Amino acid sequence: MNGDMRQGLGWTHELLLVVSSLALAILWFSGIRSELVLILLQITLMLIFASIFGGMVKRLHQPPVLGEILGGIVLGPTIIGTVFPGVQTQIFPSTGEPYQILHGVAYLGLIAFIFTAGLELNLTYIRRNRRGTLITSIFGIILPFILGLGMVGFMPGLWKIPSGDLGIFAIFMGTALSISALPVIARILIDLDLLKKELGGIIMGAATIDDIVGWSIFALILSSLNMNINLGLNLGLTIGVLLVTICILYITGSNRHWLKSPFFGAVIDLTAIVMLAGATVSEFIGAHGISGAFLAGMILSERVVKRNFILRKTYLPVMVVLAPIYFTSIGLKTNFVANFDPAIVVLVFGVACAGKILGACLGAMAAGMPRRTAMAVGSGLNARGAMEIVLASAALDYGLIQGRVFVALVIMALATTMISGLTLPWLMKTRPISMRAWDPLPLHEQMGSYNYMEE
């Protein structure tokens, strides 16, 4: 298909989306009222706006999640809610059964997205260069964590957090600045043809460790907010889940024959059960369901053949339907203009970049890498992307942070992702090998590493 034809189809696609939006608006305002119609209207509008704005940012070779959140901001109180407040609250009420159902659908999209992110982990990157990966990861976690704690401790009045909650808020900020965005980083490395090289392996391995540690701490933070469970029990349950996960990963890693054995029953059905079971256990111990879903995906990621099969079957529905619903719902959560605090935005962005880039760079240099290569490692790990946004959204839902901090974390996540995509090619003196940087394909398929089995 030539470029002119592809461009023509793109404009036709967007025209159909606009026409669909107008038709739905006319249908709604014609007087048809029912909760079922409202729920279907909400989901349809969210997918339409996610597709339109996601397509726009993809043309700029940026991750579609940026456009999906932008679409939600337009639908939410920031744009339409300001211009047409009655219309926005009528279509997206903040209470009632339609709100609860939409929240449930968005939550399912979140769980599916995080499970898929865990499924795309490849622990081989850690095993391949243990020393360099571990040193880089330790520095890339500790420095941003300390800086996150410090910026809260030295300026407690800036955040307007009750003194009794300031300690756990500081730990959260340290954790939030420590994680990276594994799927986004992988796609940047794929587009630069660096994923299969030593540099790409170290970046991916360090990002994997950072995410595992960060999400584990976050699970403990959320479980500590649950007043119905004793803190000691919270800690014991969280550590118990992590130990079980580590044991399973060790067994699967040492027993390669087990990895090749077939699943009994339907693979996709079993996968959905494992995902939901992990999320349910995580919610039961007082943490967010994303923690259990991430660990469940990580466990199944060791089953390489089945993992690739599952990704080929489920990736597009998750990334094209379920995940966009969730990320669009983020824009509905708050007014991004009213909650934009320049001081907090600049501080969070500056500390996040300084901590991750400097920390990972020092770790890479300590592991023996040249300075320019070490800077590239720090730049790659600085991308926060969707994982940071998910963490911030969960913290907002639990009341751990307020709108101003949430907006600052979202802006930081998007900005660091764009900066990594620009600085990494410059540092490595390379150019993207493809203009398909954000195609909705599983990472393993983009790498050409699928082992196609009988279906």
pLDDT at 450: 34
Specify which of 5-9, 118-122, 223-227 reaches the highest per-range mean pLDDT: 118-122
**Token couple for 285:** 């111990």
C-alpha span between 232 and 242 (Å, rounded)? 15
Residue 31 is given by DSSP the state T
C-alpha span between 338 and 415 (Å, rounded)? 20
Q: Under a CB-based contact definition with an 8 Å cutoff, are residues 423 and 379 in contact?
A: yes
Distance, CA of 346 to chain centre: 22
Q: Which residue has the higher pLDDT, 455 or 167?
A: 167
The predicted-structure confidence for 329-378, as pLDDT tens digits, reads as follows 998 988 999 999 999 999 999 999 999 999 999 999 998 888 888 898 89
pLDDT at 341: 94
Residue 79's CB is within 10 A of a number of other CB atoms, namely 18
C-alpha span between 258 and 299 (Å, rounded)? 13
Mean pLDDT (the chain, rounded) = 78
Residue 448's CB is within 10 A of a number of other CB atoms, namely 6
Instruction: Cite the DSSP H helix spans in 332-383.
Output: 342-366, 371-381
For 196, list phi and psi in degrees, rounded to 5.
-90, 0
The predicted-structure confidence for 41-88, as pLDDT tens digits, reads as follows 888 889 888 888 888 888 877 778 888 889 999 999 999 999 988 888
The predicted-structure confidence for 242-299, as pLDDT tens digits, reads as follows 666 666 555 555 554 544 544 444 567 778 888 888 888 877 766 667 777 887 887 7
Q: What domains are there in the chain, each with its CATH number?
A: 3-95 (no CATH), 109-446 (1.20.1530.20)
Task: Annotate 15-36 with b (16+ C-beta within 10 A) or e (fewer).
Answer: eebeeeeeebeeebeeeeeeee
Q: Report residue 131's pLDDT band, with 50, 70 and 90 as the boundaries.
A: confident
Q: Which residue has the higher pLDDT, 1 or 221?
A: 221
What one-letter code names the amino acid at 334?
A: T
pLDDT at 258: 45
Q: Under a CB-based contact definition with an 8 Å cutoff, are residues 364 and 373 in contact?
A: yes
What one-letter code names the amino acid at 338?
A: A
C-alpha span between 253 and 273 (Å, rounded)? 23
Least confident range from 297-306, 341-350, 388-397: namely: 297-306
pLDDT at 89: 87
Could you give the 3-state DSSP secondary structure of residue 303? coil
Which helix or strand (DSSP H or E) is residue 124 part of?
helix 124-128
Picking from 49, 25, 361, 403, the residue whose alpha carbon sits closest to that of residue 206 is 361
pLDDT at 407: 94
Tokens 């009794």 locate to 164
CA-based R_g, the chain, Å: 22
